[in-house]
Amino acid sequence: MTITLGGVPQLRLALNQIDSSVGDLAGNAETMVRWTRHSAEQGAHLVAFPEMVLTGYPVEDLALRSSFVEASRAALRSLAARLAEEGFGELPVVVGYLDRSSAGRPRYGQPAGAPQNAGAVLHGGEVVLTFAKHHLPNYGVFDEFRYFVPGDTMPVVRVRGVDVALAICEDLWQDGGRVPAARSARAGLLLSVNASPYERDKDDTRLELVRKRAQEAGCTTAYLAMTGGQDELVFDGDSIVVDRDGEVVARAPQFSEACVVVDLDLPAAAADAPVGLVDDGLRIERVVLSEEPVPAYDARSAGGYAERLDDDEEVYSALVVGLRAYVAKNGFRSVLIGLSGGIDSALVAAIACDAVGAENVYGVSMPSKYSSEHSKGDAADLARRTGLNYRTVPIEPMFDAYMGSLGLTGLAEENLQSRLRGTLLMAISNQEGHIVLAPGNKSELAVGYSTLYGDSVGAYGPIKDVYKTSVFRLAEWRNRAAAERGQTPPIPENSISKPPSAELRPGQVDTDSLPDYPVLDAILTLYVDRDRGADEIVAAGFDAELVTKTLRMVDRAEYKRRQYPPGTKISPKGFGKDRRLPITNGWREGTPA
From start to end of 428-527, where are the E strands?
Answer: 435-436
- Per the annotation, the verdict on 219 as an active-site residue is no
Residues 6+ away with beta carbon under 8 Å from 381: 492, 494
Residues 6+ away with beta carbon under 8 Å from 54: 20, 25, 28, 29, 32, 72, 75, 76, 79, 95, 96, 97, 98
Residues 6+ away with beta carbon under 8 Å from 144: 117, 133, 136, 137, 138, 170
Contact indicator for 445, 554 with CB cutoff of 8 Å: no
**Distance between CA atoms of 562 and 135, rounded to whole angstroms?**
31
Single-letter amino acid, residue 31: T
Check 41, 60, 133, 216 and give the catalytic one.
133
Contact indicator for 578, 142 with CB cutoff of 8 Å: no
Check 144, 169, 219, 468 and give the catalytic one.
169
Residues 6+ away with beta carbon under 8 Å from 72: 25, 54, 55, 97, 98, 99
Q: What is the DSSP letter of 23?
A: T
Residue 567: half-sphere exposure toward Cβ, Cα within 13 Å: 31
Helix (H, G, I), strand (E, B) or coil at 547: helix
Residues 6+ away with beta carbon under 8 Å from 146: 111, 138
By DSSP bridging, strand 46-48 and strand 233-236 are unpaired
Check 51, 144, 199, 589 and give the catalytic one.
51
**Distance between CA atoms of 237 and 321, rounded to whole angstroms?**
12
Give me the helices (H) in 42-177, please: 66-85, 144-147, 170-173
Tell me the sheet residues that pair with 48.
Answer: 15, 94
Give me the helices (H) in 438-484, please: 442-447, 468-484
- Per the annotation, the verdict on 359 as an active-site residue is no
- Per the annotation, the verdict on 484 as an active-site residue is no
Contact indicator for 456, 564 with CB cutoff of 8 Å: yes
Which residues have a catalytic role annotated? 51, 133, 169
